[in-house]
Amino acid sequence: MNLLAHPMEYAILPKVTIGREINVVTVCTVDHSIRVVTKIKNTMKKTKKKYGRYVALSVALSLLVGTIGVAQESTKLSDPEVAHVAVVANQIDIDYATIATKKSKNADILKFAKTMANDHEAVIKQAAELAKKLGVTPKDNAVSKQLLEDAKKKQKELNGYSRAAFDQAYIDNEVAYHKAVIGAVENLLIPETDNGELKALLENVVPALKAHLAHAEMVQKELTSKK
Amino acid sequence: MNRWIGVFGWFAFAVVAGWLVGGCQQVRHQAAARVDVSLRQMQFAPAEVRVHAGDTVVFTNNDIVTHDVTEETAKLWTSGPLVVGESFAFVAQKDVTYYCSIHPIMKGKITVE
């Protein structure tokens, strides 16, 4: 199974197999940047803990952009691309909140959704102000496109739930989504960012994301206990 | 004679100095103080403050999102939404636990000594 895109590329860490049939290889590319490649395989092997950090990075990205199963995906992003991914990731959660506002009658869910909409709106506003200040135009890229594509599917799925089943599905998705976004921001976007102010903004967003996750888990627990 | 005057002088000085220091300390205890609590990175910092009755606790939102400060047990009072940069002053008379009703994982406590 060849995971290299170009004859000049070479793996800087050996192939690692995780979970069920997923290969992970950290590759040095032609332009000497580093990217993590994931690929579905046919046989099963145990995870090698030695390369856990690289596996975690790849899994976080894969969860976020839904690339498990996609043959090769570059994680190298420029600052305008990082800014765009950040804006898109925030907008997606606002869109989920909009669905919740329309479908749910549960006070906890409605309150949580309102907080998500307001907080992510505030982050987008700050990102837009910073981009304007730095003279940077957020740039569309493979990661943001994949994010939007996956979000579209999830929105369709959420809209399809009955009112009774929606609350659980929404909050479960919020828990999973925030976990994935935290992993991606910490392990992908922050390390990939060169500009100090953009990096600082991303670092400031992490505590808010973690608070959202804790809040979502709290609501999830309350919903489960009422069943 | 001069020796007795010297001893009396030192004694009088000690009494006056003690009165002044003690008096000032008393005044310092009585004057209401201001204690600042910053809302940043989804936390109240410091999360617990010790004050005297009548002291003012000033909460300032230095975070990236809107917060509030709400009495936790019976929701007796709230600051209302505090946008980034806004402050809320609360005069403490007794112990109180509070939280952010927008982000319920944020909690804090004022202890009145």
pLDDT tens for A134-193 read 888 888 999 999 999 999 999 999 999 998 899 999 999 999 999 999 999 999 899 989
Q: Does a structural domain hold residue A219?
A: yes
CATH of the domain at A200: 1.20.1260.10
- Give the minimum alpha-carbon distance from B61 to chain A in angstroms, rounded to a whole number: 14
Question: B19: buried, middle or exposed (CB in 10 Å: 19+, 13-18, 0-12)?
Answer: exposed
Give B19→chain A minimum CA distance, Å.
51
Q: Is the pLDDT of residue A128 over 70?
A: yes
- In this prediction, residue B14 carries a pLDDT of 59
- DSSP string of B16-74, one letter each residue: HHHHHHHHHHHHHHHS--EEEEEEETTEEESSEEEE-TT-EEEEEE-SSS-B--EESSS
| Domain presence at residue A118 | yes
Say yes or no: A119 contacts chain B, CB-CB below 8 A: yes
Closest to A193 in 3D by CA, of A127, A149, A145, A142: A127
Nearest Cα of chain A lies from the Cα of B42 at a distance, in angstroms, of 6
Full domain range(s) for residue A44: 10-225
Q: Identify which of A23, A197, A185, A195 has the alpha carbon closest to the alpha carbon of residue A120.
A: A185
Task: Say how far apart CA A208 and CA A198 lie, in whole Å.
Answer: 16
How distant is the alpha carbon of residue A150 from its chain centre?
10
Q: Structural domain tally of chain A?
A: 1
User: Is the entire prediction scored with pTM above 0.80?
Assistant: no
Residue with tokens 């204690």: B35
Q: Would residue A2 count as lying in a domain?
A: no
A33: how many CB neighbours lie within 10 A of its CB? 12
Domain assignment present for A104: yes
Does residue A175 belong to any structural domain of this protein?
yes
Q: Is residue A221 over pLDDT 50?
A: yes
Do B42 and A210 lie within an 8 Å CB cutoff?
Answer: yes
Nearest by CB: A119 against B41, B65, B104: B65
The answer to whether residue B38 neighbours chain A at the CB level (below 8 Å) is no
Q: How far is CA B77 from the centre of its chain?
A: 18
Query: Which tens digits make up the pLDDT trace of B5-47?
Result: 666 666 665 555 555 544 444 434 457 899 999 999 999 999 9
